[in-house]
Amino acid sequence: MAFKATILTLYPDMFPGPLGHSLSGRALDNGLWSHETVQIRDFAADKHRSVDDTPAGGGAGMVLRADVLAKAIDAAAIGSDPRPRLLMSPRGKPFDQKMAHELATGPGAVIVCGRFEGIDQRVIDARGLQEVSIGDYILSGGEIAALTMLDSVIRLIPGVMGNMESADTESFENGLLEHPHYTRPVDFEGMTIPDVLTSGNHKLIHEWRLAQAERLTRERRPDLWDAYVGDHDIDVD
């Protein structure tokens, strides 16, 4: 079964957006994944098609109604749909490469894109939504977050990338940031390609790349470095 994304949103025209181009676009055309959008507003009951209301207890902003969103979810995920139900939320579990791999090997996902101040907690609880965050910042809505997450997942679906070795050496795949890259011309504004990369010695090239990846991770992401050191029992004294 090909990966299928069902996106619940107030702005369905935002999809597939950039996912309709490049690797993900070709994969979409080739049937390696598919998507559908569900307009949440279609499930509003009043003549104004209202989907939000003022927050209980007072406060700024508006809150997406539980009854409207629940109907949309029930229509999108019928019966024993095995796909996880994800809510793009800044308070959710941080999305990472491990989660991307898990989703890429599954049947797809039902993705809820929030808007306004948030969504009623009761629909999160009642429909088993798993909150997922792409970073510690606030966006206008969940659509851009969903596009970002899907781009990360789709490229890992078998057959999407022509050379999976590229994915194996990317940042976060082995707990490290990726090593620097070089290509022609050999001399660019007085800066040359490191000699080891043109030596033809694959063992030395591998060692150099690993050393550079470790250096960059140690300097730029001490959180990742600490985890890597612990996982690989590295003596840093």
For the chain, what percent of residues have pLDDT higher than 90? 87
pLDDT of residue 163: 65
Residue-wise pLDDT tens digits, 14-57: 999 999 999 999 999 999 999 999 999 999 999 999 999 999 99
**pLDDT tops 80 at residue 1:** no
What's the pLDDT band for 196 if we cut at 50, 70, 90?
A: very high
Tokens of 201: 């010695």
What are the residue boundaries of the structural domains of the chain, listed by start? 3-154, 169-232
Average pLDDT, the chain: 94
CATH 3.40.220.10 is held by the domain 3-154: no
Q: What is the pLDDT of residue 79?
A: 80
237 has pLDDT over 70? no
Q: Does domain 169-232 have CATH number 1.10.1270.20?
A: yes
**Residue 231 pLDDT grade (very low, low, confident, very high; cuts 50, 70, 90):** confident
Residue range 127-137: mean pLDDT, rounded: 97
Q: Give residue 206's pLDDT.
A: 97
Q: Kindly indicate the confidence band of residue 80, based on its pLDDT and cuts at 50, 70 and 90.
A: confident
| Residue of 173 and 154 predicted with greater confidence | 154
Give the pLDDT score at 104. 98
Does pLDDT of 214 surpass 60? yes
Average pLDDT over residues 2-13: 98
Sequence letter at residue 50: S
| pLDDT reported for residue 167 | 62
pLDDT, average across residues 51-68: 96
pLDDT at residue 187 in the model: 97
Answer whether residue 134 shows pLDDT above 90: yes
- Taking the C-alpha atoms of residue 192 and residue 188, their distance in angstroms, rounded to an integer, is 6
Tell me the pLDDT band of 78, cut-offs 50, 70 and 90.
confident
Q: At 162, is the pLDDT very low, low, confident or very high (cuts 50, 70, 90)? A: confident
Average pLDDT over residues 1-8: 95
What is the sign, positive or negative, of the torsion defined by CA atoms of 13, 87, 136, 146?
Answer: negative
